């Protein structure tokens, strides 16, 4: 019976005490989160674009006649990679707007 009382007290009585802290203004952790979001996205995007361009150029160097078949998908892939970085930038702007 004691365990039931402690579980009840923990779940229903202590929750309003912890919920009071949720009304605070965002702190510096939001700025750090925005910085991490854009830095990791930019780093990952740069690595992905470098790898995609290197693979495409290697394919074109091995078979110059296939340039038309390789170049267009490469540009499309680079655009999709860059769009992910732009999404991270938008999220970083949204996080900074909460400060």
pLDDT in tens, the chain (99 residues): 666 666 655 656 655 555 555 556 666 777 787 788 888 888 888 898 899 999 998 988 998 888 888 888 888 988 988 888 888 888 888 877 877
pTM above 0.85, yes or no: no
* Contact criterion met (CB below 8 Å) for 89 and 41: yes
- 28-62 and 67-97 helices, crossing angle to 10°: 180
Domain boundaries of the chain, sorted by first residue:
28-97
The CATH number of the domain covering residues in 28-97: 1.20.20.10
Residues 6+ apart with CB under 8 A from 78: 49, 52, 53
Distance between CA 52 and CA 84 in Å, rounded? 15
What HEC string does the chain produce? Answer: CHHHHHHHHHHHHCHHHHHHHHHCCCCHHHHHHHHHHHHHHHHHHHHHHHHHHHHHHHHHHHCHHHHHHHHHHHHHHHHHHHHHHHHHHHHHHHHHHCC
């Amino acid at each position: 019976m004691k365990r039931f009382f402690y579980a009840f007290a923990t779940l229903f009585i202590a929750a309003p005490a912890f919920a009071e802290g949720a009304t605070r203004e965002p702190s510096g952790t939001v700025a750090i989160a925005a910085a991490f979001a854009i830095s990791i996205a930019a780093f990952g995007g740069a690595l992905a674009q470098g790898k995609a361009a290197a693979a495409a150029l290697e394919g074109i160097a091995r078979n110059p006649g296939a340039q038309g078949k390789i170049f267009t998908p490469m540009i499309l892939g680079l655009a999709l990679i860059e769009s992910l970085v732009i999404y991270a930038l938008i999220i970083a702007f949204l996080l900074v707007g909460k400060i």
